[in-house]
Amino acid sequence: MVAAGFALGVCTSAQAQWKWRDTNNRVQYSDLPPPSTVPESAILQRPVGARRSGPQFTPAAPSAPAAAEAASGPARTSDPELEAKRKKAEQDQAAARKAEEDKINAAKAENCTRAKSYLKAIDEGQRMARTNANGEREVYDDKIRAEESKRTRDIIASDCK
């Protein structure tokens, strides 16, 4: 008898259901509360223990002069510190940007040097070969030389400024 009463109590809590009318006036059932867009008057049933959303208490804001005084008081004492931190952060960001630009410029300079060397080898007619997708070796013919020469000239135009 006690076990049956306990099981009944567990089952009813597991069946906690919300019931409300949606914007299309259809009754909705869920074990989750309705969306916040559903007005309080549209909620038809709540699970036991679910609280109604009543008026929320918000503490009164301090008067304007007191708030201004409180805000400006600590700001004045820490203003030089904040200003120094802000300047240091700006300098760090500028240094990071400069380092990144230097790194990019160094890579472009190296690409430029390699491209010029490769173009010189192509234009001089040195025997060159590449491996195709099948793993076979292809010797550069005039068509491949022209394609490689054009591609290399484009790289030189973009990286060598």
DSSP run (H or E) holding 90: helix 64-123
pLDDT of residue 57: 42
pLDDT in tens, 65-83: 554 555 554 445 568 888 8
The pTM score is 0.42
- Which of the residues in the chain have pLDDT under 70? 1-15, 51-78
Overall residue count recorded for the chain in this entry: 161
40 DSSP 8-state letter: G
